Structure 1
């Protein structure tokens, strides 16, 4: 401990020393502390101990950028010969004593029983609260559960409100595990609100101290801020008395305000907001730079850089500008001039040298690395960033600015949570550099300072497990430990630990329902016969009729949706009540589970926008009529020409009108007829009071059903993950990946595929869907298994690039649909729909087209483009490993080779 403490220029905090001592005593350690409080010191002590005891230490992080940063930090301390790096793109000195890696890499090593695990003594899990992540969180729990007991785990977490529960679970599954919590910031944080160009304190009273919790302060809101809020309200009332124009509503009466933190854009009420250039000037004059300015929009971040640059603001001196230019040029040295022009590098570099830059997921990794190094050097003064920066790399600042306390979550504008506020403002205050940090919130019309004060006074948020068995997880667990041990492992998860605590509450509800049920049964009596038996016959008939109809409707709806996604402009289809029509446009609604829609025009010039619920059967094209590129619905001559071409095609083909009736189930119909005969023959059927009895009996049936639901829910909760695991295994068994709880060859292949649509990918391999495709075509088809369109992205009718890839994609969709039907049968959530939005970009890049042409064609941000290309490369590598020798493996390798070029290869080297 003494030797280790000398490595730092400041005295270690009590919580850091306590956690290190627990680790030295042989315990695992969970450290929960605010952002910037120095949690990583404990992880670094695990590295120090590994070297001192001649054992290995793996340092895991949730993202590659954080892995890269930690790798460079440890190389600087221990030298390149002792430190390695393993990510999806990089492998450096993988057998080193200290290896930094993403958590997924460690999970895959455990499943593969990699020899690299030999002599492993410590695993650091940085940002372990990522286990709440909906898509990737399960990986953290898999690793915690599967690591040998001899390995000491150091779990580093943001401050969470249920840290005791999390710690209790870790002790349950790992044995001796200490929990060390600190809620104190090493650098005190001042809270401000910027009103115009006036920087006002959020709280009155004494300044915060490093030893003081937010809740310990007298949370008294600055009276000047309250006066601003009150004055604004007065202006609103005065304004309401003024004339509002002819409509009585005023010209711009729409407000996008959200919640208690303001955000109204009403021009009368909001006043002139502080511009981003003005914010930069205020921060510079108040000596509050460097700063991170959070904007919850990538486009907003890029626009902010342009706005400050266009205002002619320079925040750097000559030496700082020169240093930033050198950093930038070094990171892009491997890129061609054409690529740099496509990326608008000169504008980026000019703004950077003036001390301003953006940082978000849409950027090229090389550009992000420039910003990170420039900011760490102290030369870069102002970074406009999205919230992802707060969850990733270590980029502390003197000041954090939050433009709005409202963000768009993909569906609606919502208030940020106290946990998110804490995460964002946690970057303010550089330990060892700043004596204080500053958080600045920009004033918004309608803002309540008291609500902002409450937000700033709460630090914690609950940690909820997102762990659930997947197909790949199931085959890997069964392969390594068998089905029974796999179930036991799942029952030890944090998800199950949290679930079990709800069973007691559900049991109380169940007891109350049983009491109600006894009273209801006593009220049901008929002299003619068993009224409950008669009521159950009625109920069974109703259920059969409803389920039969529902099943038929669900099947029909699937067929309709599938048919709509296959249509293209120009297809001639028969629309009920409209007749023969031509398809004009095909699209997909983002907000309703990706529901497709089709715009058609019929012979009488009626234009419809059809959705699946508008149709009873699939739309089957019988021919095609050419829709000109310049076709306009407003042009009557264009409409006539198109409909004339349709009529000629119909006359030529003379097609039959499709039958759209929903088929009946004869077996179910016969069963219903038999039950109706029993009902009529039942003695209660002749009772004059049978309907009164039916009412009482229906109440009994309703309570029975509710009691069963609660009982099943209780049982399901108590065994929820085991039940899910059994359902996963049922699907795998039916498709031939398991045979009597043992892996088949197909199951062993599935072990290598780590993808959200892993089973669909494996089935496509088994059914030769990918056979015969060239590398560019395969890249296009594989992209549909990894790509997910952004909700805000206006993807105008994406298509597959050619006929071969279109055929393969149609087969892939058929596989997805069949797997989905099987999942429905076994009560599994259906996998997300394949997305063709990146197919053409993948095909163009794999075909060798220039970056400028590909980006111009897709309209996609360079960073997004590179990220999706990497994911296609990664999936191609997984399939190559899964399929074994043959043409498909060679094509998969060719996909990776053809796409790993130019800006993609340069950014892999950057990592």
Structure 2
């Protein structure tokens, strides 16, 4: 293709972004259909570096004095954003490096756990993470300076005002907790009292625009999961639905009226008659203000804090409240500085801490003898050392548990496809097509193994191993069984390029599995056979181009 294009026999080449970057075909003009690409997980906008790589092919060296990069207009295209892509000349490098299970066992086997951790601490990814802390560290230093100033300003000649201020803050926190808990209890009691009312019960709405007597017209939800919103008739003959928000305190039935069988809320006469019956029950009853006993009055902790405040030397200072204003600033700045320090700690040595959690999972699953500095790789770990796939630990667990033992070449290829494939589109609710035979039971067993791995990760605060993706299982099984490419592509949404790319990855994983298991193992011979069955036709040709 390169020779034909450079000879002028091909005038125009339509290429994917990957092909455009991988071949030597300088052109006079480059046309971009859109400024969005697929990154393996989702569609994202091109970065300035990617835009420059694509349009940089415009203009043949030694022939053209200039080249042209053309972007097709489409709805939503922002010319200013496009100009920003074209004018950017410096491109920051961002490391996406993260320790994997395979990497961890290989590092421990070659270096030992402690030296391996030190290597990761000097990685470019850790350098970038640490560098991002610089701004936060500057803010921490500013807060430290401010704290010193606030501390000096709140100094009291009678005693330690910081100690006094901390007593005041502790008292305020306790009062807020009690007030919040009390409000929650009152609300729960009010909701339950509303839920207990029945049609015909007359009660007083305690607050809101509809405060006053009302009668329940329909059944109130008895389910604790549903918010009670009964329909009521108010004393002024208005029919409304009320919510628990309007019931600010518990309500009780003042009496009961019979609702006529043919009662219609839309009939003025029916409403008038029912309101009159309700008025006879309530009489002159009105909504009064309920006295609320303070929840702090009988609290032992609050009583102790108040006593300590009164006995503190600073309590009698004439400038006590002026000191208090500086103390409030001091406390606020100290809380903000604590939050900043937590953020700094979360970013510092983040790569090494992830390595620690990875080794803990490996020790839990017996791929390492321990998670300490004396850790050694076990026999199971030796198997994992040879599996470089993204789902390395899941593949190792499947080999170890014998999930793939006894599978034929076609079924083994299909099972491995579930580990490497990643669908582009979101789940549309349709179950993926699966081949008949033992592979279905094996996929269920693989899903169970994946859940075990996920639980082990969750215990250590990790989420690495993704779900199985069955979208390529059927196509892989068909291709390994000798089906024609056209029949496979016509039965799904795969393009020829995607089919070849994913099949090459399945072949790669099968080769890793063959190397990971002992020589003479039936699984090794089946993995080799499966790889050979897949490596044919356009797939085999693609590896020679």
- TM-score tier, shorter chain, comes to 0.5 to 0.7
- After TM superposition, give the deviation of residue 378 of structure 1 in Å: 2.7
- After TM superposition, give the deviation of residue 471 of structure 1 in Å: 0.9
Contact 2:37 2:45 in 1 (8 A): yes
For 1:751, the equivalent position in structure 2 comes to 385
For 1:800, the equivalent position in structure 2 comes to 434
- After TM superposition, give the deviation of residue 753 of structure 1 in Å: 0.3
For 1:887, the equivalent position in structure 2 comes to 522
Contact 1:534 1:684 in 2 (8 A): no
**Per the alignment, do residues 899 and 499 of structure 1 end up closer, same or farther by CA in structure 2, a change over 3 Å counting?**
same
Instruction: List alignment gaps of at least 5 residues for structure 1.
Output: 1-370, 543-576, 578-678, 691-695
Contact 1:795 1:837 in 2 (8 A): no
For 1:790, the equivalent position in structure 2 comes to 424
**Per the alignment, do residues 426 and 795 of structure 1 end up closer, same or farther by CA in structure 2, a change over 3 Å counting?**
farther
CA distance in 1, matches of 2:55, 2:361: 46
Residue 488 (structure 2) pairs with residue 858 (structure 1): no
Alignment of 1:776-855 (within 5 A): 776-791=410-425, 796-802=430-436, 804-855=438-489
**Per the alignment, do residues 514 and 383 of structure 1 end up closer, same or farther by CA in structure 2, a change over 3 Å counting?**
same
Relative to its length, the structure with more strand (as a share) is 1
Cα deviation code 1:100-145 (max 9, x no counterpart): xxxxxxxxxxxxxxxxxxxxxxxxxxxxxxxxxxxxxxxxxxxxxx
For 2:127, the equivalent position in structure 1 comes to 497
Q: Does 823-832 or 761-770 show the bigger shift?
A: 823-832
Cα deviation code 1:53-95 (max 9, x no counterpart): xxxxxxxxxxxxxxxxxxxxxxxxxxxxxxxxxxxxxxxxxxx
Q: Does 816-825 or 725-734 show the bigger shift?
A: 816-825
- After TM superposition, give the deviation of residue 455 of structure 1 in Å: 4.1
Instruction: List alignment gaps of at least 5 residues for structure 2.
Output: 155-160, 181-222, 224-297, 310-325
SS in 1 for 2:13: strand
Alignment of 1:63-102 (within 5 A): none
Alignment of 1:16-95 (within 5 A): none
SS in 2 for 1:400: strand
For 1:476, the equivalent position in structure 2 comes to 106
Cα deviation code 1:785-806 (max 9, x no counterpart): 0000012796942043235222
Alignment of 1:107-126 (within 5 A): none
For 1:907, the equivalent position in structure 2 comes to 542
Alignment of 1:114-193 (within 5 A): none
**Per the alignment, do residues 879 and 455 of structure 1 end up closer, same or farther by CA in structure 2, a change over 3 Å counting?**
closer
Contact 2:30 2:69 in 1 (8 A): yes
CA distance in 2, matches of 1:876, 1:833: 19
Contact 1:535 1:697 in 2 (8 A): no
For 1:96, the equivalent position in structure 2 comes to none
CA distance in 2, matches of 1:405, 1:376: 27
SS in 1 for 2:14: strand
CA distance in 2, matches of 1:815, 1:702: 49
CA distance in 1, matches of 2:20, 2:147: 53
Higher Cα Rg: structure 1 or 2? Answer: 2
Query: How many residues matched?
Result: 397
CA distance in 1, matches of 2:533, 2:507: 9
CA distance in 1, matches of 2:457, 2:502: 27
Task: From 720, 743, 749, give the equivalent of 2:350.
Answer: 720
**TM-score, normalisation: structure 2:** 0.63
SS in 1 for 2:116: helix
Contact 1:816 1:833 in 2 (8 A): yes
Contact 1:876 1:893 in 2 (8 A): yes
Alignment of 1:396-545 (within 5 A): 396-405=26-35, 416-442=46-72, 452-513=82-143, 525=164, 532=170
Contact 1:403 1:442 in 2 (8 A): yes
Alignment of 1:608-757 (within 5 A): 682=301, 684=303, 707-739=337-369, 740-757=374-391
Cα deviation code 1:140-177 (max 9, x no counterpart): xxxxxxxxxxxxxxxxxxxxxxxxxxxxxxxxxxxxxx
Task: From 7, 15, 18, give the equivalent of 1:388.
Answer: 18
CA distance in 2, matches of 1:411, 1:875: 20
For 1:114, the equivalent position in structure 2 comes to none
CA distance in 2, matches of 1:704, 1:748: 50
For 1:299, the equivalent position in structure 2 comes to none
Which of 1 and 2 has higher RCO (CA within 8 Å, sep 6+)? 2
RMSD of aligned Cα (Å)? 3.9
